[in-house]
Amino acid sequence: METTVMQQLQFSPWIHSKSVSAKPKGSLHFPRRLAEQDILQAPFSFDLRVSRHSNHRRTVALKISCSYKNSSVLESGNHCASVDESLAIQRKSREIESYLNGRSIYLVGMMGSGKTTVGKVLSNALGYSFSDSDSLVEEDTGISVAEIFKVYGEDFFRERETEALRKLSLMRQFVISTGGGAVTRSINWKYMHKGISVWLDVPLEALVKRISAVGTNSRPLLHHDSTDAYSKTLVRLSTLLEERGEAYANAEVTVSCEKIAAKLGTKDVSNVTPMAIAIEALEQIEIFLKREDGYCAI
Ligand SMILES: Nc1ncnc2c1ncn2[C@@H]1O[C@H](COP(=O)(O)OP(=O)(O)O)[C@@H](O)[C@H]1O
Ligand SMILES: O=C(O)C1=C[C@@H](OP(=O)(O)O)[C@@H](O)[C@H](O)C1
């Protein structure tokens, strides 16, 4: 089967503003076990498009597309940021740099809450490396998370996940996307507390919509036969959320998508972009760090 990988990256400030020194970085993601040789043979195409919006907003999208054979994985993204948002996230990143002092950020939250998507935006803004505990487990074991669950069971996966978090806890300047169930083991909190934990709190309905859109193949706890995907995902996610709600609340910082939507004057969280969530995360991290530092605004 031939598959297309498409990723849209929004690059704006460095085109027009001299005030931003760090150039945004982007990366194109491939299925986990695609051989290096296959990647080298894959044809790429680039498309740079400038869009003007109302209120003088301007975005510049770089769309990178690539096709290759023998893969069933499709990754695509369309993560737009306005010039204002790009400047805001750069400014906020610089503001909290000294408070962060190199500490890593651990994103926790349900499957589909955007830990990976938002994590990459945050790592770009902060100039941090990005890592994903699931990917680390896959690298260590040589098989996918779905295969680990199928062949060795969940307990084995949880052991490997803890080991991945232990290794990550030795690092600094990382944004880490943890697996949705990482919060259920207290030993994992010991490792995550080496950095700052941030809960991406997304309403259940939005999670179900996102996961139904991408399918459940890579998420074994949600996987089901193909019929009635939306309601099956809804039931399973709602049970997991009930079991884990308190565990997520252990995070030092909470980023509520509903609150961001309310600030934007809407109830619909699907209007809340990964960039807006990343900016809110930095603002909440700043509040937490200043409180921790004994800082008192006059
Ligand atoms: N703010 C958002 N708005 C719309 N879709 C999003 C948002 N954040 C993530 N997504 C989409 O939801 C899906 C799951 O996101 P992902 O970052 O993989 O979540 P997690 O790592 O928490 O499981 C992806 O298809 C992603 O593109
Ligand atoms: O919620 C969970 O228990 C899991 C979430 C998954 O990660 P994502 O949250 O990145 O999907 C992955 O670790 C595994 O399938 C189990």
HSE-CB at 231 with a 13 A cutoff on CA atoms is 2
pLDDT 10s digits, 167-217 = 999 999 999 999 999 999 999 999 999 999 999 999 999 999 999 888 888
pLDDT-based confidence at 130, cuts 50/70/90?
very high
Q: Is the CB of 177 under 6 A from ligand 1?
A: yes
| HSE-CB of 16 using CA atoms within 13 angstroms | 13
Question: Any residues with Cβ below 6 Å from ligand 2, and which?
Answer: 111, 115, 134, 145, 179-181, 219-221
pLDDT of 27 > 60? The answer is: no
Domains defined for the chain, CATH in brackets: 1-80 (no CATH), 83-292 (3.40.50.300)
ipTM over 0.95: yes
- Nearest-atom number in ligand 1 for the CA of 213 is 25
Helical ranges in 215-256 per DSSP H: 229-248
Distance 199 CA to ligand 2 centre (A): 14
Question: How far is the C-alpha of 200 from the C-alpha of 281, rounded, in Å?
Answer: 8
Q: Ligand 2 pocket check: which of 107, 111, 132, 244 to mutate, most ligand atoms within 8 Å of Cβ?
A: 111
- Closest atom, ligand 1, to C-alpha of 132: 21
**Cβ pair 132, 116 in contact under 8 A:** yes
Q: Where are the alpha helices (DSSP H) in the chain?
A: 13-16, 36-41, 83-100, 115-126, 133-141, 145-152, 154-169, 186-192, 204-214, 229-248, 257-263, 274-292
Structure confidence at residue 266 (pLDDT): 92
Which tokens belong to 286?
Answer: 């700043």
**Closest CA to ligand 2's atom 10:** 179
- Ligand 2 atom at minimal distance to the Cα of residue 137: 13
Q: What distance in Å separates the CA atoms of residue 193 and residue 252, rounded to the nearest whole number?
A: 9
Mutate to test the pocket of ligand 2, among 221, 239, 244 (most ligand atoms within 8 A of CB): 221
Residue at 105: amino acid letter: I
Q: What is the pTM assigned to this prediction?
A: 0.78
Q: What percent of the chain has pLDDT over 90?
A: 62
Ligand nearest to the CA of 248: 2
- 26 vs 106, 127, 129, 226, CA distance in Å? 20, 12, 12, 34
- Centroid of ligand 1 to alpha carbon of 241 (angstroms): 17
Q: What is the mean pLDDT of residues 43-56?
A: 49
Q: Which atom of ligand 1 is least distant from the CA of 257?
A: 1
pLDDT digits (tens, 9 = 90+) for 202-211: 999 999 999 9
* Closest atom, ligand 2, to C-alpha of 111: 9
pLDDT at 74 over 70: no
Give the pLDDT score at 223: 84
